[in-house]
């Protein structure tokens, strides 16, 4: 099912929250407020969600590849199994988000707040986690190969795959050249 921005906002304002399987690829949803929306399995490829509020949203197995989501609020969002390769999530609030088994390969997470996020078994190959807050984040079996973890804060990297990643004695991490 495909809807435009105006239809989505009208239905959301009327109380509808279930938009599972929706096709919003390439849509401009700048600064949109869609708290608690269900976009499970939706096609959101190349969507523009900068500064959007998607707190507690269900984005399980959604395709968000190449999405622009800088400064988005994704607190408590379910992004498990989602496709976020090459997405821009810089400075996004992903506190307590479920990113289990999510593909974040090549994603920009610079300055993102991933406090208490579940990134277990996530693919973060080549992702930029510069200055990201990883305090209490679950990175069990996550693939961090080639990641830029420079100045990432309080990362627990036990059981993570760290090929081509350097861990400095002062706690900062950086991708090897």
pLDDT, one tens digit per residue, over 85-101 is: 999 999 999 999 999 99
Position 173 pLDDT exceeds 80: no
DSSP helix/strand/coil, 5:
helix
Q: Please give the CATH number for the structural domain made up of 1-177.
A: 2.160.20.80
Cα 147 to Cα 97: distance, rounded to the nearest angstrom: 20
Cα 9 to Cα 1: distance, rounded to the nearest angstrom: 15
CA nearest 103: which of 75, 79, 129? 79
Taking the domains of the chain in order of start, what are their residue ranges? 1-177
Against a cut of 0.75, is the pTM above it? yes
CB 146 within 8 A of CB 166: no
Position 167 pLDDT exceeds 90: no
């Amino acid at each position: 099912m495909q809807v435009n921005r105006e239809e989505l906002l009208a239905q959301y304002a009327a109380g509808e929250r279930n938009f599972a399987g929706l096709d919003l690829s390439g849509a401009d949803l700048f600064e949109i407020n869609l708290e608690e929306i269900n976009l499970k399995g939706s096609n959101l490829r190349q969507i523009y969600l900068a500064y959007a509020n998607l707190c507690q949203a269900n984005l399980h197995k959604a395709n968000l590849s190449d999405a622009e989501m800088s400064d988005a609020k994704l607190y408590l969002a379910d992004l498990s199994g989602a496709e976020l390769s090459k997405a821009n999530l810089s400075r996004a609030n992903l506190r307590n988000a479920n990113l289990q088994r999510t593909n974040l390969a090549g994603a920009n997470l610079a300055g993102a707040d991933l406090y208490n996020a579940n990134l277990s078994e996530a693919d973060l190959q080549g992702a930029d986690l510069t200055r990201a807050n990883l305090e209490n984040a679950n990175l069990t079996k996550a693939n961090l190969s080639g990641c830029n973890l420079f100045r990432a804060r309080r990362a627990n990297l036990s059981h993570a795959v760290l090929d081509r990643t350097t861990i400095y004695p002062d706690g900062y991490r950086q991708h090897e050249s």
